[in-house]
Structure 1
Amino acid sequence: MKVIIVEDELTASENLKYLLDEVDPTIEVVQVLESVKQSIDYLSNDIDAELIFMDIHLADGISFEIFDQVTINTPVIFTTAYDQYAIKAFKVNSVDYLLKPIDPEELSKAISKFKNQNLNADPISNQLTGMFQLLQNSSKSYKTTYLVHHKDELIPIKTDDIAYIFIDTGMVKAITLENKMYIIDKKMEDIEVELDPKAFFRANRQFIVQKKAVTNIKYYFNGKLIVNTNPVPKDRIVVSKAKATAFKSWMDE
């Protein structure tokens, strides 16, 4: 069986190769892709693989962005340290979902599940069943406070008071509804999964916005949206055409 690995960390991809060989020596890794861009370029063509192992956090973004640009019919097993992505994974052709560090027994079960689904007349039913199970077992709690540096002290700011979070000159900053700015010592990808998705939306790579900070939405060219907030950001918040429908649905909830 031929597989593709999408993983930006060399040690993680090498470990997965080792585990795959231990689980099933007949598995051949035909390609390792390290970024969203590289994956889009490669997967836009016909691929000679039956299964894809895909990390969710990549160096240049979230791997779900790949599915916005490319139609992928090859089954996917996602690998990540963040289990709150599980439901979304099932919506994009996912066979299974493995949490890092990957357990060899869980990997073996996932591969067996893939092989059984190949023989099953209704694999989509299996995916929906898995999704419902995850929904039933979900007890996710979200971040309510961030401890941030302010002058010579640490102070807590409530996530409910944050208007938007953005990247500025390589630093992650939060602007509160009262227009105060704080630096958050975390990556945007980590913050995104910590926040309640009902209240916060990743508008683009630079911005995460809170719903109650949005004052209006304007149509932009090529199906994009411009999101206006209070306080007003230094840079324009643009939502891509691929995310526009999801953003409007989120605002309408």
Structure 2
Amino acid sequence: MKVLIVEDEALIAEQLQRMLKDIAPQAEVLDVLHSVKNARRWFMQNAEPDLLFMDIQLSDGISFDLFNYFDIKCPIIFATAYDEYAIKAFKVNGIDYLLKPIDEEDLIRALGKFKALQKNQSISTEVLQTLANHPSQIGRMYKEKLIVQHRNASIPINLADVSLFYLDQVIFVVTNDGQKYIAEQNTLDEIEDILNPNEFFRAGRRQIINQNAVESYKGDASGKLYVKLRSSHVSEVEISREKAPVFKRWIDR
């Protein structure tokens, strides 16, 4: 989390940095700016931070003047000794309005709002990207049953009863009771296309898992995840470091 602080009182800026270090150690303070002029120069030369802490009355003017020059999109937590600007603050991406001296509980609450907003934005971005890549999924109905092969016969099974699809020369379908069948489809892409993405997750090139079948998961030092399913012929399902954050948001909806 990259943070920018716009504050002309050095003691307040130092206090805020100490509190952030204790409350949100993952926060990286990019810079502390003491005036509107310095802030204008910074935004001309740098990309927006993830989160902006901003005083309102600075040594050379009102920080709202920045919005006359820049279309600032990042969330802003205002910190000021005055409450007269509260309404205006929430018109320019303000997510909270803290009165000085900053109270630790108020700061924790404000950061909680930021984290919730960040999580919702990430999920929304993934959904929009999915729809952009697969526009046919908009408003579509997903299958509830699947035809599989078992003892030279075709039988229907409920997708709600499936814990895992995995590829091993052919596509196997494993149900919650531990039964294993062969899917009629030839590729996992074909399987994925008929599944509800809220219920099933493409763990990698060879596996798709059902959310209701996840018993637990753990990570390692590389950032990979290892998912244990309640009933499966596969002991663990590995999820790459790149897909691990997506899986965590998917399982925690």
Task: Sort the TM-score into its range (normalised by shorter chain).
Answer: 0.3 to 0.5
TM-score, normalised to structure 2's length? 0.46
